[in-house]
Amino acid sequence: MASHRLGVAVFVLVATAILAAESEPNQVESEQLQDVGGSPDAVFSDAEGGFKTGDGASETVPGQAETPPHPVETGQADSAGRRVSIEVGSDRVEEPVADEELENLQAEFDLQDAPQQSEPVPTPRDHFAEELVIRPLLSGDIYTSFQFRTRWDTDLHRGKKVSHYRLFPKSLGQVISKFSVRELHISFTQGFWRTAQWGQPLLSAPPGAELWVWFQDSVADVDGAWRELTSVLSGIFCASLNFIDSTNTVQPSASFKPMGLGNVTEQRFLRYAVLPREIVCTENLTPWKKLLPCESQAGLAVLLKSEKLFHSSYHSQAVHIRPVCKDSACRETSWELSQTLGIVFDLHASGQSKREWSLFKMFSRTLTEPCPLASSSKVYVDVTDNPQGEELFDLSPAVSLQTQAVVLGDRRTFTVYDLLTPEPYGPTRSLNILLKWRQQVSVDMQRPVLHTERYVSGYGLQTGEINTLLYNSHPFRAFPVLLMETVPWYLRLYIHTLTVQSKGKENKPSYIHYLPSKDRQRPHLLEMLVQLPPHSVTKVTVQFERALLKWTEYTPDPNHGFYVSSSVVSAMVPSVVAMDTNSTEGRPLFTTLFHSTEESSYFMRVYSEPLLVNLPTPDFSMPYNVICLTSTVVAVGYGSLYNLLTRTFQVEEPSGGLTKRLANVIRRLRGVPAL
Amino acid sequence: MAACRLVSWCLTVFTLLFLFCYRITVATDEIEVCTSRFWFNYRHVANTLSVYRSVKRLGIPDSHIVLMLADDMACNHRNPKPATVFSHKNMELNVYGDDVEVDYRGYEVTVENFLRVLTGRFPPSTPRSKRLLSDDRSNILIYMTVPLISNSFCRYNELLFIIDTCQGASMYERFYSPNVMALASSQVGEDSLSHQPDLAIGVHLMDRYTFYLLEFLEDIHPASQANMNDLFKVCPKSLCVSTPGHRIDLFQRNPRSVLITDFFGSVRKVEITTEPVKLIPNISEKDEKLTEEVMLTEPQKYVEQMPVAEIIHQIYFGTFERYWIGKFHGVSRISPEVRISKPYQTILFGGSVYKNSYRRGLSRGE
């Protein structure tokens, strides 16, 4: 009750604050602006310096797609296609690099001219490979996963600036060297991966935007670099990543380890943030496509049409940059840029109930050629559930090439279409992979070994409880998982109510890391290492209280609720078959994302649902209501009293009404004296 | 082959497409309360995107366009065709396109950010795509669907302001900066009306003024000679229902001599040099040197993703600390075997709740 009273008091305060602030808001704003623009000269000079670069970029941009380009530019457009993408991408980086760019430009021209002058071309130090994995899901949906991998044998952190970029996107290369980034992982996801129905994705990601970065140990001010990096990335990817600040950034102590080479695992060089409400749409895909060497002009990327990609149940695009071994000796490092895109199509939802898939149906395009810059270009179709003899579906065109790979602890069989050979294209010179289900299958989906659920329970707007369920469906093996929860400060966790229960018994975590929140400064971080018993459900609960926000801290649509980011579950899951711990060379790209060091288990990361929590929201129309009510009271109460007090009362002479006059007329006619 | 260099020395044209999201935090008397979030304001997004489409078609690159969209209509869950925004009924013209780049979106679209774009005062790490990188030779086109206070800013050569909103003329009446031309879709006291409901999408697709503006701009090509006087006539009252207005007294030139493409397009001039330019490569030599240096380093290893033993034996605290943590937080359920890592210390000494109550207690005592 006390808190309710407090709440009312706060509402009243809020109301007065609104009334006070509304009188002079204009001035407040201009003061704020002046504060930030404290040194306008510096800002302007920066902008001017940058402008040169922007201008340089505009030189190389050919006419837009619909415009008939200038005659001179037409000749340029084909040969300079790649260069254009670099320039367009790079003009988003704030560093003014006009001279460098010119140098780069000249070098590009030289490379193009080289064959004509019959000079030996230096062997490129960068490779590009592209691949598409198509996996029919037993639920009737289809999962397609693109991966584009650029590998560059150079060191971006050397003292001298790298100025010549070929396949590696310059915009990202400059970001890596400027902010001394060792590893960068960013993902944008729309929709939620339903592990229980779809199994494990090749690479999982939480709904919204996720960004985690390892900095070099030479970085002194990690927070500053992180802040700048997020705003630069927000420019590159057209996303609201600049909303990442200290209130949603954490430094996980154990859940995230570098995926690439490196010995430093000190958590102070790691930053992790999730924006669960970030929308993902065409404007995020456009810059992502521009990072590709062939953009969406050739190769697998021609399939990336936003109208089709976003008409899907799940869409997740990601960029991973990490240093990897150049060869099996691992004395040298290369930079690896993986761009992944996972989509789950639901043909039932789009009105085509026939269980029949084709590239054309999914992407409204077919494949006609590989990207000419790619050293490998392949399409894999998962046919593990389609063994010889008892086929569930027909696949056409049929090719003889098959390969086996160990994916997420299981041996899978794939049909391979190698786009660099002319074979798959056939006489029509276009590849349209068609997959036709033979009968209505009702195969029971084998439950994934690990999956997770999360929900909020409780009633009212004061307290609640976060419940996380961890399922281990392995029949006889227990395995450890690391659970990481990041909760915003406005949900105040009661850490003493933390319980971990498996099979009705308490399950003591062997490691707990808890960093309490600070109001308006940092979120709660809770990490724990839990051993999941075989064939069990482990329930982690913690209670919380909702805080009251200041009235300026509410979003424009506060009644929608506030998001709590997904919890991250990292696990070493026992594998069915021996994992391949050898070098990553020669294997399909999708099997080499996590480096496995053990044969008996594999590493996996699973994300739970994000939570949507309602906070006590004041009625923002209250000031208006208060003004109306007060004015009414004043008008009616005071007005009538004033009227009574100031009015002079006079006795009115009776003037005689109409009836009286009529009566008098009648009386006169009768000869009786008038009234 | 003669190397030719593209030389462009045209007037750069910048475009600021702005869809204003009203936040209750920034109320002023001049601003009408009008929010362009939410699905039923689809047409505001379509308005803005149609102008975006036109200027992009006429040659202005994305780096010179600042596009602000207050809500996500294209990938809104209510949109029956995701990743599209249509300006004509029967889904004829998709103004969202396949290569749109939105610079400010969602909650970023605030009055503060709009003023920052206009005045050029940004936090230092603001990316280039979110700045208006104009100079004194740039022409600027500002298109808005909701009114806002005006501001003087001397960062342009000529400025064209287009306002499609109710009572639009009230907006440009306050202008006093030179070289500004302003157009509004309605006079003071008038409403600006919407056009074309679509049954499949379920909302109005566009406002009338912008609809006819888009129809007009669709016929413009980079070499067309249409001038501003034609622009003033795009939407007569018979079509718009409201009365579009314009203001030219601040503008130095005669509108008849100002081409539409001065603001909506960017025409590049290309010079071809006949003298060949010799370029000398020296990339391969550099590369070899690099390789030698790198070869000297030790073999490197990948880190184990989940080193369980290492995690458990991170920083370990003694009995004393654990006792106090238990005492403060009642963590009786965490057994003595539990390893508690360092940050628990903050609860002991620096937890904000306890610190504050401690301070409050002190001040009361005083």
Q: What is the pLDDT of residues A254-285, one digit of tens each?
A: 899 998 887 777 888 999 999 999 999 999 99
Q: Out of B58, B107, B297, whose CB is closest to A331?
A: B297
Token pair in block for residue B222: 């980079």
Distance CA A570, CA B12 (A): 51
Identify the band that residue A93 occupies on the pLDDT scale cut at 50, 70 and 90.
Answer: very low
- Is a pLDDT exceeding 80 seen at residue B202? yes
Q: Is residue B207 part of a domain?
A: yes
Q: Is B130 within 8 Å of chain A by CB? A: yes
Given this model, what pLDDT does residue B332 score?
Answer: 41
C-beta pairs of A39-42 under 8 Å, 24+ apart in sequence: A40/B120, A40/B121, A42/B124
> In chain B, which residues have their Cβ closer than 8 Å to the Cβ of A332?
291, 294-295, 297
pTM over 0.90: no
Question: What number is the average pLDDT over the span B339-364?
Answer: 36
Task: Output phi, psi for A537, to 5 deg.
Answer: -120, 125
Interface test with A, best of B129, B297, B328, B340 (most A CBs within 10 A): B129
Interchain CB distance below 8 Å, A510 and B149: no
Mean pLDDT rounded to a whole number for chain A = 78
Q: Report ipTM (2 d.p.).
A: 0.74
Given this model, what pLDDT does residue A120 score?
Answer: 55
Interchain CB distance below 8 Å, B125 and A231: yes
Given this model, what pLDDT does residue A348 score?
Answer: 65
Rounded to a whole number of angstroms, the distance from the CA of A55 to the nearest CA of chain B is 8
Question: What number is the average pLDDT over the span A565-573?
Answer: 93
Whether A171 and A235 have beta carbons less than 8 Å apart is answered as no
Q: Find how far residue A563's CA is from the centre of its chain.
A: 14
Calculate what percentage of chain A has a pLDDT beyond 90: 39
Which residues 133-152 on chain A approach chain B with CB closer than 8 angstroms?
A: none
Q: Is residue B326 part of a domain?
A: no
Mean pLDDT rounded to a whole number for chain B = 70
- Is a pLDDT exceeding 50 seen at residue A373? yes
Q: Is residue B11 part of a domain?
A: no
Interchain CB distance below 8 Å, B305 and A257: yes
Token pair in block for residue B279: 């370029």
Identify the band that residue A188 occupies on the pLDDT scale cut at 50, 70 and 90.
Answer: very high
> Can you list the alpha helix ranges (DSSP code H) found in A251-371?
282-290, 306-309, 359-363
- Is a pLDDT exceeding 80 seen at residue A441? no
Interchain CB distance below 8 Å, A286 and B26: no
Given this model, what pLDDT does residue A397 score?
Answer: 86
Whether A310 and A363 have beta carbons less than 8 Å apart is answered as no
Whether B75 and A190 have beta carbons less than 8 Å apart is answered as yes
Given this model, what pLDDT does residue B283 score?
Answer: 55
Interchain CB distance below 8 Å, B75 and A594: no
- Is a pLDDT exceeding 50 seen at residue A615? yes
Distance CA A438, CA A253 (A): 50
- Is a pLDDT exceeding 90 seen at residue A610? yes
**Lowest model confidence (mean pLDDT) among A111-115, A555-559, B50-54:** A111-115
Rounded to a whole number of angstroms, the distance from the CA of B119 to the nearest CA of chain A is 9
Whether B87 and B296 have beta carbons less than 8 Å apart is answered as no
Q: Out of A154, A282, A506, whose CB is closest to B74?
A: A282
The residues near A140 (Cβ < 8 Å, ≥ 6 apart) are: A346, A347, A348, A355
Q: Which residue is closest to B116 within chain A, CA to CA? A: A33
For chain B, the distance separating the N- and C-terminal CA atoms, rounded to the nearest angstrom, is 88
Q: Is residue B294 part of a domain?
A: no
CATH of the domain at B215: 3.40.50.1460
Q: How many CB pairs under 8 A join A and B?
A: 322
> In chain A, which residues have their Cβ closer than 8 Å to the Cβ of B34?
none
Q: Is residue B138 part of a domain?
A: yes
Question: What number is the average pLDDT over the span B234-260?
Answer: 87
**Lowest model confidence (mean pLDDT) among A509-518, A595-604, B41-50, B77-86:** A595-604
* CB burial string B268-278: b at 16+ within 10 A, e below: beeeeeeeeee
Which residues 62-91 on chain A approach chain B with CB closer than 8 angstroms?
A: 63-67, 70, 72-73, 76, 88, 91
Ramachandran assignment for A580, one of left (phi > 0), alpha (psi -120 to 50 degrees), beta (any other): beta
Q: Is residue B95 part of a domain?
A: yes
Greatest mean pLDDT among A4-18, A171-185, B28-42: A171-185
Q: Is residue B76 part of a domain?
A: yes
A321-334 pLDDT per residue, tens:
999 888 777 888 88
Q: Is B83 within 8 Å of chain A by CB? A: yes
Q: Out of B99, B339, B351, whose CB is closest to A511?
A: B339
Q: Which structural domain range is residue B87 located in?
A: 23-264
Label the pairing between strands A410-418 and A402-407.
Answer: antiparallel
Which residues 205-244 on chain A approach chain B with CB closer than 8 angstroms?
A: 227-228, 231-232, 234-236, 238, 240, 242-243
Look at chain B and report how many structural domains it folds into. Answer: 1
Which residues 292-321 on chain A approach chain B with CB closer than 8 angstroms?
A: 305-307, 309-311
Interchain CB distance below 8 Å, A496 and B329: yes
A343-360 pLDDT per residue, tens:
999 876 555 556 778 898
Interchain CB distance below 8 Å, B57 and A64: yes
Q: Is residue B256 part of a domain?
A: yes
